[in-house]
Amino acid sequence: QVQLQESGPGLVKPSETLSLTCTVSGGSISYYYWSWIRQSPGKGLEWIGYIYYSGSTNYNPSLKSRVTISVDTSKNQFSLKLSSLTAADTAVYYCARLEWLNYYYAMDVWGQGTTVTVSS
Amino acid sequence: EIVMTQFPGTVSVSPGERATLSCRASQRISSNLAWYQQKPGQPPRLLIYGASNRATGIPARFSGGGSGAEYTLTISSLQSEDFAVYYCQQYDDWLWTFGQGTKVEMK
């Protein structure tokens, strides 16, 4: 079955840009929407944005000015860039698949998550 | 942005008992509502989509209901593996938001 794996640095400095990649295995990235979600320590879940395999995107308005999500179909990967980092961006970052289920979308497959700490 | 409010924040239940979790949206969301279960150190797991449809492999003791702006997740007879945090999630106009979660703990 489809599996997702996040990868990227675990520690980044304030004001720098975070780059994470999600690799899709066991299936194709095509014809699906793919999303990034984060979870700050001890906090709930925050949707960051999504990308369609063709490249169309939509972002959380609260993060929109700092977020870019891109896709590389040849590598079966999609990526997240988050700029101007502060300590508030410290979180576990998840990638997930948006599946169309009986006329509703839901996040049916998730990666295990990668912990990102923003600190000098 | 649609705000999702879950209550209670924590519910204490004994194994075998019923638990009902609530989720209220700041406006109607036309059943574009999902429920997720999250255990420590694990990603969320999809339980319910479209407000009342169980995801693949989810036991029948989990059921979702509601409409408009008010939704519920019921666990009919709690098993030991059900103690976790539960999140509701909605999408509207291609923007997604989560509730803050309800922790189901053992009484």
pLDDT tens digits along A53-92: 999 999 999 999 999 999 999 999 999 999 999 999 999 9
CB B73 within 8 A of CB B99: no
Distance from CA of A46 to the nearest CA of B (A): 7
**Side chain identity at B36, as an amino acid letter?**
Y
Split at pLDDT 50, 70, 90, the class of B8 is: very high
Q: What angle do CA B96, B100, B106 make, to 5 degrees?
A: 135
**CA-to-CA distance for A60 and A82, rounded, in angstroms?**
12
User: Does residue B103 carry a pLDDT above 80?
Assistant: yes
Q: Which two tokens stand for residue B96?
A: 């997604």
- Minimal Cβ distance to A110: which of B44, B91, B94: B44
Distances (CA, A) of A22 to A37, B46, B89: 12, 19, 22
Q: Please give the pLDDT value at position B92.
A: 87
**Side chain identity at A14, as an amino acid letter?**
P
Q: Which of residues 65-84 of B touch A (CB under 8 A)?
A: none
Q: Please give the pLDDT value at position B19.
A: 97
Q: Which two tokens stand for residue B49?
A: 């989509």
Distances (CA, A) of A14 to A2, A47, A48, A84, A88: 34, 21, 19, 7, 10
Split at pLDDT 50, 70, 90, the class of A40 is: very high
Split at pLDDT 50, 70, 90, the class of A44 is: confident
Q: What is the dihedral of CA A97, B35, A112, A53, to 10 degrees?
A: 10
Q: Please give the pLDDT value at position B105.
A: 96
Q: Please give the pLDDT value at position B93.
A: 86
- Minimal Cβ distance to A106: which of B46, B94, B95: B46
Do A44 and B32 count as a contact with CB atoms less than 8 A apart?
Answer: no
**Side chain identity at A103, as an amino acid letter?**
Y
**CA-to-CA distance for A43 and B103, rounded, in angstroms?**
12
Do A47 and B44 count as a contact with CB atoms less than 8 A apart?
Answer: no
**CA-to-CA distance for B4 and B94, rounded, in angstroms?**
15
Residues of A in contact with B98 (CB under 8 A): 44-47
**CA-to-CA distance for B93 and B9, rounded, in angstroms?**
27
Tens digit of pLDDT for each residue in B37-92?
999 999 999 999 999 999 999 999 999 999 999 999 999 999 999 999 999 999 98
Residues of A in contact with B99 (CB under 8 A): 44
CB B53 within 8 A of CB B62: no
User: Does residue A43 carry a pLDDT above 80?
Assistant: no
